[in-house]
Amino acid sequence: MRKTTTPSRRTLQALALLGVVGLASCTGDDMPPLAEDVYGPLGSIRPDATAEQKETFDRGEAVAKRRFTPEEGLGPLVNVTFCGACHEKPVFGGSAGHYRDFYLTATELPDGGVLAGAHGGVLTAYDLAGESPRPGLQEGVNVITHRNPIPFFGIGLLAELPESSILAYADPDDEDGDGISGRPNYDRGFVGRFGRKAQTVSIEGFIRGPLNNHLGITSNPLTEEEKARLPVRSDTASATQTRQAAAPDEPLTDKDDAPDPELKSDELFDLVSWAMLLAAPEPAPLTPAAKAGRDSFEATGCADCHVPALEGPRGMIPAYSDLLLHDMGEELADRLEMGVATGSEFRTTPLWGISAVGPYLHDGRADTLDQAITMHAGEGEKSRQAYLALSDAERGDLLEFLDALGGLDQRTEGLLPPNSPIPAHGEPGAPFGLTTDEERALWLRGRAFFDRDIPIGDGLGPYFNGDSCRACHFDPVIGGSGPMDVNVMRHGTRDANDDFQAPLYGTILAKLSTPGLPRREATSAHNTFEPRQTPTTFGIGLIETIADDDIKALADPDDLNDDGIRGIASMLGDGRLGRFSWKGGIPSVAEFARDALSNEIGLTVPPVDGLTFGFVSDDDETADPEVSRDDHDALIFYLEHLEAPAPSHEVPGGLELFEEIGCDSCHIPELPGSQGLVPLFSDLLLHDVAADDYFGVPDGIADARMFRTPPLWGIRSTGPFMHDGAAETIEAAILAHDGEAAAVRDAFEDLPAVDRELLLEFLGSL
């Protein structure tokens, strides 16, 4: 049977424990109390943690934020470079916007079975070892499904739940006739509770698998002694504690050059402990409207699957989920089978903290909770119809009740905490030139739009690389650069005559698509791939103040001075000078913003006299332009007024050495601007600095080997380096220089070790 008591009584008991009914008689004498000392702000540690556990939590969070490099074992197949990439919203431990979506693949067999794809079925975005840095679909794959990341808040409490608490709600044959037939999934014989299909029983398994499938980081299982030290409580035998800490029993390995395991055992222990110690979302006091919404939540049958609380060793755990599989109908089905879960079955999503972790449903197709509810079908159809039958006010009350389940005060449209102040002068991401309250307000509006996750309903996609400007520009803070895992992929076809042909849809091979639409894949005809690393936007408004003539004067396209360095001004077809992007093809900050909004996010922009970049219309269902003129102008104002990175400290003799070996031939320390000298360390010209056998993707007058000299200010926080992010260190970037920069590279290599270190310190200080 699905329920051990009548549905209404069991639900009222749990609701009473949460203080949202106020009928003490409903609880019964045998009802355990609500768990205590386990709630807190999203991302915080549980209040009951010991001093030792707090130290472990801090170490584990550091592992979650650690950016792995190929030398440390990253790859060869990669979606992200750190755990926190997919668990950052609204704080670390949460979920993520659409730019961290990913895909699972499988093959549906003629007999009706489904065979999981290789590499855990994860379709990755980058291959660090293959001929193509963008791996495509394996032969025979005919099932591709979308996933949006899952938050970790409170999952240590779910790990502690005895199987009986979950099984008490199972009714696989719908014996009580209520149309709901929840059933458990199993992982190696134990009741699963983690993952979109409850396919995993343990937090260790929930972490080790994605570490390998998304980062290519290998690990060994925790030892029995380590499992016994994990912060989990159980009222049963120690075997239960071991089971809840179980994971894939075998060591994970890969074929890169880093020795396995690539994650040390103590780091894995700290990471698993961090996840287990994350506090449960702290519910807010109920307003009268939320109390009315609570009643509607019960009356519409939402609580039949989103069971308010399950009994654990600490008391009742108010996750608002039965952790069982339910058939959600064909519209939501993904055809992917996991364990006993069919293609239309999904685990009931816990609702604690739900207001702060959108988008919603397994693939993020719902922008709002209202949309998520109205997309329920299958076993959720009856509740959906009951919800739709409510008045607008009643639906609003129910949504207010869901907001009260924790995290509302931390909810944000992007990643900026609510009411974030303007950074002070000298801090990363600070503005310059703001003189009035109106300008400060406009700058803040532009920053908010830069940070905002764009929902599907506002025009995201259909193909995109990020769902916000901040999705790629967040290192070291919003507005900066980005790690390798947000690289943009350019591609096309190189023929036998070294002529390049771009695909009809352009050279950008978007990493993502909106739910329900397969990712765009390269074909066998595409043989040229070139990742593009995210540049910082700090100081770009000052770069715009440099006069065209002062840049053109530095050009020497025919090497008339015979120094081996040419330098070509990137002139656009309409006569404007390009000064932004890796190929120097964008002439202004405004065009830089418009180009990124359309090509990276998929948004249409308002037509503006004199501006030609970006798309002013598309064929999706969102009215054009998808970016308002006010947001458009505020975004550009924000970018134009971002302060340039300031040196961290003086390095005596560093600049002289920089100039002595010829680095300043292209990386000119400063150029005159209308507001004073601009210390960007660039000539903003195109140069061939590639190896002899290199062939990339041309853009405008920049051929397959040419790149604009990147400014060096702020280089200490913009790694990895070079146009493709292939250099993990500044020294590796210098050594990767070739072509026109070969002589300077050789001069660097010939320096005494102490001078090389001095030069690297100088560059790092910029």
Q: Buried b / exposed e across 547-585, counting CB within 10 Å, b at 16+?
A: eeeebeebbbeeeeeeeebbbbbbbbeeebbbbbbbbbb
Q: How distant, in Å, are the alpha carbons of 320, 401, 524, 638 from that of 382?
A: 18, 20, 48, 48
Q: Are 545 and 433 in contact (CB under 8 A)?
A: no
User: For 124, left (φ over 0), alpha (ψ -120 to 50), or beta?
Assistant: beta
Residue with tokens 């700090």: 538
Tokens representing residue 628 in the block: 């308002």
**Domains in the chain and their CATH numbers?**
7-39+282-410 (1.10.760), 48-152+185-277 (no CATH)
Low-confidence ranges of the chain (pLDDT < 70): 1-31, 234-248
**Residue 4 pLDDT:** 41
**Residue 765 pLDDT:** 97
**Residue 117 pLDDT:** 83
**Spatial separation of the C-alpha atoms in residues 512 and 718, rounded to whole Å:** 24
**Residue 468 pLDDT:** 98
Q: Kind and range of the H or E element at 493? A: strand 488-494
Could you check whether the bond before residue 261 is cis, i.e. omega within 30 degrees of 0? yes
Q: Are 532 and 522 in contact (CB under 8 A)?
A: no
How many angstroms separate the most distant Cα atoms in the chain? 94
DSSP-derived secondary structure for 44-88: PBPTT--HHHHHHHHHHHHHHH----GGGT--SEES-SSGGGTS-
DSSP-derived secondary structure for 567-621: -B-EE-TTSPEE-BSTT--B-SHHHHHHHHIIIII--B----TT---SBS--SSS
**Spatial separation of the C-alpha atoms in residues 456 and 279, rounded to whole Å:** 30
Q: What is the pTM of this model?
A: 0.94
Q: Are 24 and 320 in contact (CB under 8 A)?
A: no
Dihedral sign from CA coordinates of 131, 119, 486, 59? negative
CA angle, corner 620, sides to 619 and 623, nearest 5? 95
**Spatial separation of the C-alpha atoms in residues 137 and 147, rounded to whole Å:** 17
**Spatial separation of the C-alpha atoms in residues 322 and 305, rounded to whole Å:** 6
CB 425: neighbour CB atoms within 10 A?
A: 10
Pairing of strands 114-116, 102-108: antiparallel
Q: Alpha helices of 173-264 — where are they, by DSSP H?
A: 203-215, 224-229, 238-244
**Spatial separation of the C-alpha atoms in residues 478 and 596, rounded to whole Å:** 16
**Residue 211 pLDDT:** 97
Q: Are 99 and 512 in contact (CB under 8 A)?
A: yes
- Report the Cα 7 to chain-centroid distance in Å: 39
DSSP-derived secondary structure for 524-558: TT--EEEEEPPPP-TTHHHHTTB-HHHHHTT--TT
Q: Are 761 and 652 in contact (CB under 8 A)?
A: no
